[in-house]
């Protein structure tokens, strides 16, 4: 009598009731898969191959200059296979060698083209790849300089750059800790707001940079979408880690500052990874205005990052070891990024990593919001608003120093 | 679309064989590698899959050609153009003059007739690169129409192309025979599938041109609708080894901003691949025209020689004794020269960019 309509419950079991539920999922999957395979094997009956001529799209993923030769790694990010049959360098046909002569580059496949060429240091080169239809794919070498080989010297130079740009500034920023401990809670809240502003601008900056980078390379892997994919993935991952840390520690002690500091350090570390990538790849391309100016710019900018890490410790004790660890987490990825960027640069990977940095920073911003609330519980109060604006302005202005 | 498989690399030259005589292009390339670049380049050229297998040491066997600073080392990568599929070979086109067929008119004059059809054809202009061309009789340049001053000429034109075309001849003729439709004086635009008969007198003598004159003009010319039109003087010219050279280029990506490939008679580096054989001391007469679209000027330069130049071929007296001449589009002239020395001599555009993009060839002077 409790069953108002017995038929409604019986209906789903009308067929298949005797089979296990996993089978009921597998059968339609198998039918879909078989159907697709048959359709593809029959060469899509009734569907024309394509309307119009083949789309020949190649993106130059990596350009390497070695003494007496230019190496291009091209990736096919169009729908049709592409073949490079001739190449001109500065309006002259040249010889070249491929991994697989006469082979077509299939969709998403890459091919290395080696051009024996007596290039001249600091000259510009315009390279044109010709396909069988006479289509052209252009690429440029704005300033020719030998691509650093990933040897000990290169790793040492990149490590030094990463040290200057990542670790040293972060540690310098941490030197403000004793001063921070003396000032009042209101000032701390303001500093937290400034940190939030810094991070907001880091997120904006990294998003723009990632979208720009992604737009330059092959689009086949999603282009700018990679930035957002990386960002969301990082945000979700860090939120998960945060929740796990809370459940593990929160039960024991109510102190959230170590967790907050760690998250800030991780967020900044991921951001510095992107920064290192940019520096390393620019160095590899010979496009890095190396020198004191660049380093000074990065030091000014990244010192504020060190400040952001220590703010949670203003009212809590923190061992030197812990602070050093946090500083390393925030700064050292710049070295790794520089190594990666200089030796195996790939714009799609760079865009994804920059996106990861954005997601991490956004997660940290979310963590910081409670710390800038005033006594009435408002996150957006006059002090926090002006702090956020100041933080953004600081990064914006110091960023001008670096990009100039 | 032509996805033709390129021929396998030519057989490796025997390192012990004497270098005199035929030297394959690859050997020349290999020989120049040390000049063109570093030892690494040489190794790269010498060692790898393309079959550059002659050791760089052989560079020493190619003295004298280094004077051009690696110029001979230029050229296309891999294989050669399939002239059979193209339907014409630049080496044969060079000496192919179409005298048409003749009949006697009632007044005793000669009536000379040609059948010309325009049609669309893919032409391989560089190894592996196919150009969707518009042609007269399936070749670029179209047939070199040749006649004598004072004859009556009749050209039976059929348009088998998918686009409307015409034939515009340089020379003296009535307006309605000018082949430049759209002026409102009855000159027809020859639609796809239509035919038209052009008829006029052969005058003045000289080296002229014919080409399509349908809008957009730049496209119709760039696609390949042009050819040489020679009117011999009534008394003829001295016996010579005669060559037709139409300088042209191909904008393969159709962006209208310059050409990707430059050439004489369509196929880039064709006469470097197969040098033009001439006899030492024999009079050579070159009918040279510039039909290059998109670039304002073209030029011809010959090594180790000078020539008498007859602008437009309309005078029997040369205007200049030189080794370099420039021509704007549509300009043409006759060059007369004798090679005093045996051996290989370069000729190319002295706009070096064009030379390195295909407009470069060799004369091979034999005893």
CA A224/CA A216 separation, integer angstroms: 10
From B38, B250, B357, residue closest to A93, measured CB to CB: B357
Q: Determine how many CB atoms are found less than 10 A away from the CB of residue A239.
A: 16
Task: Report the gap between the CA of A92 and the closest CA in chain B (Å).
Answer: 5
B102-121 residues touching A, CB cutoff 8 A: none
Q: Which structure tokens are listed for A343?
A: 């030796």
Looking at per-residue confidence, does A215 or B350 come out higher? B350
CB pairs under 8 A between A and B: 110
Average pLDDT over residues B74-78: 79
| B276-294 tens-digit pLDDT | 999 999 999 999 999 999 9
What is the torsional sign of CA A273, A274, A275, A276? positive
Residue with tokens 């300089």: A145
Residue B223 DSSP SS3: coil
Nearest to A362 by CA among A267, A241, A273, A272: A267
The Cα of A134 is separated from the nearest Cα of chain B by a number of Å equal to 4
Specify the 3-state DSSP secondary structure of B63.
coil
At B119 the pLDDT is 96
Please judge whether A117 and B37 are an interchain contact, meaning their C-beta atoms are less than 8 angstroms apart. yes
Q: Write out chain B residues lying below 8 Å of A86, CB-based.
A: 76-77, 126-129
The Cα A386–Cα B42 span in angstroms is 65
Cross-chain residue pair A67–B131, CB shorter than 8 Å:
no
Chain B interface includes A120 (CB < 8 A): no
Cα–Cα distance, B60 to B42 (Å, whole number): 13
Interchain pair B50, A69: CB under 8 A: no
- Residue A105 banded pLDDT, cuts 50, 70, 90: confident
Taking only the tens place, the pLDDT of each residue in A186-225 is 888 888 888 888 888 888 888 888 888 888 777 777 888 9
CB B75 to CB A68 under 8 A?
Answer: no
Q: Are A186 and A383 in contact (CB under 8 A)?
A: yes
- Chain B contact for A69, CB < 8 A? yes
Cβ-based neighbours of A107, under 8 Å, separated by 6 or more? A76, A77, A78, A79, A80, A81, A220
State how far the Cα of A229 lies from the Cα of A45, in Å rounded to an integer.
35
Q: Which residue of chain A comes nearest to B122, CA vs CA? A: A133
Contacts of A285 (CB under 8 A, 6+ apart): A63, A142, A143, A145, A147
Rounded to a whole number of angstroms, the distance from the CA of B188 to the nearest CA of chain A is 32
Tell me the shortest Cα–Cα distance from B58 to chain A, in angstroms: 18
Whether the predicted model's global pTM rises above the 0.80 cut:
no
| Residues of B in Cβ contact (< 8 Å) with A133 | 1, 129-130, 252
Residue with the bigger pLDDT between A177 and A304: it is A177
pLDDT, tens digit, 9 for 90 and up, residues A129-146: 999 988 999 999 988 888
Structure tokens at B166: 């015409």
Contact A136 B126 (CB under 8 A): no
Residue B276 to residue B243: CA distance in whole angstroms: 10
The complex scores an ipTM of 0.73
Give the whole-number percent of chain A exceeding pLDDT 70: 87
Verify whether the Cβ–Cβ distance B45 to A118 is below 8 Å: no
Measured CA to CA, the distance from residue B336 to residue B39 in angstroms comes to 43
Distance of CA A227 to the CA centre of its chain: 6
Is the CB of residue A61 less than 8 Å from the CB of residue A67?
Answer: no
Nearest CA to A314 among A193, A192, A175, A181?
Answer: A181
Residue B256 has what pLDDT?
A: 86
Cβ distance of B128 and A96 shorter than 8 Å: no
Residues 8-67 of B with CB under 8 A from A: 29, 33, 36-41, 44-45, 48-50
> A94 — contact with chain B (CB < 8 Å)?
yes
- Chain B residue with CA closest to A100: the answer is B49
A82 secondary structure, DSSP code: B
**Nearest CA distance, A363 vs chain B (angstrom):** 48
A359-368, A374-383, B313-322: range with highest mean pLDDT: B313-322
- With CB atoms and an 8 Å threshold, state whether A134 touches B48: no
How is B250-277 classified by DSSP, letter by letter? E-TT--SSS-SEEEESSSTTHHHHSPEE
Nearest-angstrom CA–CA distance, A90 and B38: 19
| B200 touches B109 (CB < 8 A) | no
Contact B127 A86 (CB under 8 A): yes
pLDDT at residue A294, rounded to an integer: 61
CB-based contact (8 Å) between B358 and chain A?
yes
A302 and A332 Cβ atoms separated by less than 8 Å: no
- Interface residue A88 vs chain B (CB under 8 A): yes
pLDDT (0 to 100) of residue B318:
97
Under DSSP, the state recorded for B61 is G
Instruction: Quote the tokens at residue A208.
Output: 């723009």
Integer angstrom CA distances of residue A401 from A216, A302, A393, A398 = 24, 12, 13, 5
- Name the DSSP letter for residue B2: -
A370 lies within 8 A of chain B by CB:
no
- How confident is the model at residue B308, as a pLDDT? 98
């Amino acid at each position: 009598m409790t069953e108002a309509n017995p038929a409604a419950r019986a209906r789903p079991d009308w067929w298949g009731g005797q089979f296990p539920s996993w089978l009921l999922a597998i059968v339609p999957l198998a039918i879909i898969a078989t159907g697709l395979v048959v359709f593809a094997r029959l060469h899509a009956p009734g569907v024309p191959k394509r309307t119009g001529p083949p789309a020949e799209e190649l993106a130059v993923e990596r350009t390497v200059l070695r003494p007496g030769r230019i190496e291009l790694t091209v990736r096919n990010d169009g729908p049709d296979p592409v073949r490079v049959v001739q190449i001109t360098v500065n309006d002259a046909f040249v010889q070249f060698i491929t991994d697989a002569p006469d082979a077509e580059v299939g969709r998403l496949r890459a091919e290395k083209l080696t051009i024996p060429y007596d290039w001249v240091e600091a000259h510009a080169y315009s390279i044109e790849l010709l396909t069988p239809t006479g289509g052209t794919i252009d690429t440029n070498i704005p300033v020719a300089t030998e691509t650093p080989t990933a040897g000990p010297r290169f790793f040492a130079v990149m490590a030094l750059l990463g040290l200057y740009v990542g670790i040293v500034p972060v540690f310098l920023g941490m030197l403000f800790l004793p001063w921070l401990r003396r000032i009042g809670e209101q000032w701390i809240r303001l500093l937290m707001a400034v940190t939030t502003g810094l991070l907001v601008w880091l997120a904006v900056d990294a998003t723009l940079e990632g979208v720009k980078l992604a737009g330059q390379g092959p689009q086949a892997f999603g282009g700018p979408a990679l930035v957002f994919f990386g960002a969301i993935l990082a945000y979700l991952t860090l939120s998960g880690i945060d929740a796990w840390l809370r459940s593990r520690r929160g039960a024991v002690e109510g102190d959230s500052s170590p967790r907050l500091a760690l998250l800030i350090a991780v967020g900044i570390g991921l951001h510095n990874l992107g920064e290192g990538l940019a520096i390393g790849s620019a160095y590899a391309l010979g496009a890095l205005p190396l020198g004191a100016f660049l380093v000074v710019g990065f030091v000014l900018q990244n010192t504020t990052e060190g400040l952001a890490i220590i703010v949670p410790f203003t009212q809590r004790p923190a061992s030197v070891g812990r602070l050093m660890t946090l500083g390393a987490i925030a700064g050292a990825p710049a070295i790794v990024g520089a190594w990666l960027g200089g030796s195996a640069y790939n714009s799609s990977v760079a865009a994804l990593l920059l996106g990861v940095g954005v997601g991490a920073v956004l997660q940290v911003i979310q963590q910081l919001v409670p710390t800038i609330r005033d006594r009435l519980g408002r996150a957006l109060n006059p002090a926090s608003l002006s702090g956020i604006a100041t933080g953004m302005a600081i990064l914006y202005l110091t960023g001008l120093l670096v990009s100039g | 679309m032509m996805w033709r498989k390129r021929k396998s690399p030519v057989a490796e030259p025997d390192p012990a064989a004497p270098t005199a005589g035929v030297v394959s292009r690859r050997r020349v390339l290999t020989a120049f590698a040390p000049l063109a670049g570093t030892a690494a380049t040489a190794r790269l050229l010498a060692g790898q899959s393309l079959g550059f297998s002659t050791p760089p040491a052989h560079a020493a066997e190619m003295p004298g050609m280094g004077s051009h600073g690696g110029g001979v080392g230029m050229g296309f990568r891999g294989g050669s153009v399939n002239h059979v599929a193209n339907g014409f070979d630049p080496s044969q086109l060079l000496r192919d003059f179409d005298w048409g067929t003749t009949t006697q008119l009632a007044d005793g004059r000669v009536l000379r007739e040609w059948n010309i059809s325009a049609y669309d054809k893919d032409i391989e202009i560089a190894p592996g690169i196919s150009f969707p061309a518009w042609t007269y009789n399936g070749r670029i340049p179209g047939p070199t129409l040749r006649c004598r001053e004072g004859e009556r000429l009749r050209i039976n034109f059929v348009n088998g192309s998918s686009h409307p075309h015409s034939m515009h001849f340089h020379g003296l003729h009535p307006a309605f025979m000018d082949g430049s439709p759209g002026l409102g004086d009855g000159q027809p635009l020859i639609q796809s599938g239509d035919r038209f008969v052009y008829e006029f007198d052969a005058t003045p003598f000289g080296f002229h041109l014919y080409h399509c004159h349908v809008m957009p003009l730049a496209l119709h010319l760039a696609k390949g609708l042009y050819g040489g039109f020679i009117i011999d003087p009534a008394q003829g010219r001295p016996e010579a080894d005669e060559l037709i050279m139409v300088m042209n280029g191909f904008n393969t990506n159709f962006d209208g901003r310059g050409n990707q490939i430059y050439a004489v008679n369509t196929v880039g580096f064709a006469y470097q691949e197969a040098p033009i054989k001439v006899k030492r001391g024999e009079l050579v007469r070159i009918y040279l025209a510039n039909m290059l679209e998109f670039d304002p000027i073209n030029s011809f330069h010959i090594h180790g020689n000078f020539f008498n130049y007859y602008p437009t071929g309309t005078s029997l007296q040369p205007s200049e004794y030189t080794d370099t001449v420039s021509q704007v589009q549509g300009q043409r002239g006759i060059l007369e020269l004798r090679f005093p020395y045996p051996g290989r001599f370069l000729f190319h555009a002295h706009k070096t960019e064009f030379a390195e993009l295909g407009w470069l060839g060799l004369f091979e002077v034999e005893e």
